[in-house]
Amino acid sequence: LTWIFLPQGYLPANMERRKLTLQRKREEYFGFIQQYYDSRNEEHHQDTYRQIHIDIPRTNPLIPLFQQPLVQEIFERILFIWAIRHPASGYVQGINDLVTPFFVVFLSEYVEEDVENFDVANLSQDVLRSIEADSFWCMSKLLDGIQDNYTFAQPGIQKKVKALEELVSRIDEQVHNHFRKYEVEYLQFAFRWMNNLLMRELPLRCTIRLWDTYQSEPEGFSHFHLYVCAAFLIKWRKEILDEEDFQGLLMLLQNLPTIHWGNEEIGLLLAEAYRLKYMFADAPNHYRR
């Protein structure tokens, strides 16, 4: 797996320099921990820490890996340091989910068997520290591109939901009109798609596959995601058109049956998203970013 090299700008291409940079980045992260982590109980950071502390056990509650205290402590440190270094947004529920794919991918490099049931106490302190620091930097890099999703009033999300609506109105008028007819608003279901980058709609393995593409795509998380959301919505057009009231539509849209999805479905989804992207890339008036 090459994820650590992918987030653009995290590591230089030259092998020797890459190793040094990695080393330096890890030290830098643990420098932050040393400098700031004790402040979590001070008054001005108390609310942030409290919220993170409440949310961590509720992150991936069904996966045993994330119920281990060692793992929960790692997540708490990553999120707290990120939050206080980004006061414009601070910690927002949903960001906790975004650490998960990075952590799992970096952990998988050391795990032969089923990662979701792995006991991290089997790993050395050094390895755990590397996984923690790398997860932190990759998550930071990801969030740099979508920070306006999490600042006051979440303008990035509002904008993207609006863009999704516009896109869908052009690519599938029937679905769009169906929503209008039953007074379904895009924000009512797509807020979460943007806020959590579809993580709540897909099994973890699918999110990892999806993000793999996002990382190699320029503006993957901030822009290409929109086309993926549109493709994802249209994928369910038959089910959507079969529902004939507001309640049925909302229940469907909030619980889309992806539980058995794997690489194949994500592959098809991505192919459709690329098709949409190219269709609209040359027609800026059809769809403004």
Partner 1 sequence: AQKAMPGTSLEGIRPTYIYKVVLLGSTSVGKSSLAYRYVKNDFKESLPTVGCSFFTQTLNLEVATLKFEIWDTAGQEKYHSVCHLYYRGAHAALLVYDIANKETLNRAKLWLRDLEKEFLPDEIVIALVGNKVDLAAEREVTTEEGEEFARTKGLLFMETSAKSNHQVNDIFMAVAQELLQREQGKTSAPSPRGRSTVDLRESRARTGCC
| Residue numbers at the binding site for partner 1 (CB under 8 A) | 51, 54-55, 57-59, 61, 90, 92-94, 96, 150, 152-154, 157, 183, 187-188, 191-192, 195-196, 200, 246-247, 250-251, 254
Residue type at 260 in one-letter notation: H
In the Cβ-directed half-sphere of 17, how many Cα atoms lie within 13 Å? 5
Nearest 10 degrees: CA dihedral of 24, 25, 30, 34? 80
Q: Which residue has the tokens 């709609």?
A: 201
CA distance 195 to 156: 9
Residue type at 136 in one-letter notation: F
CA distances in angstroms from 163 to 168, 269, 287, listed in the order given = 9, 19, 8
Alpha helices (H) along the chain:
15-36, 43-55, 69-85, 95-108, 125-144, 155-171, 173-181, 186-195, 204-216, 225-235, 237-242, 246-254, 263-281
- Closest distance between partner 1 and the C-beta of residue 202, in Å? 14
- Closest distance between partner 1 and the C-beta of residue 58, in Å? 5
- Closest distance between partner 1 and the C-beta of residue 113, in Å? 25
Specify the residue, 233 or 270, whose C-beta has the smaller distance to partner 1.
233
- Closest distance between partner 1 and the C-beta of residue 271, in Å? 28
- Closest distance between partner 1 and the C-beta of residue 87, in Å? 13
Specify the residue, 139 or 276, whose C-beta has the smaller distance to partner 1.
139
CA distance 203 to 261: 7
Contact 264, 280 (CB under 8 A): no
Specify the residue, 22 or 104, whose C-beta has the smaller distance to partner 1.
104
**Residue among 68, 223, 248 nearest 149 (CA):** 223
- Closest distance between partner 1 and the C-beta of residue 203, in Å? 14
- Closest distance between partner 1 and the C-beta of residue 158, in Å? 8
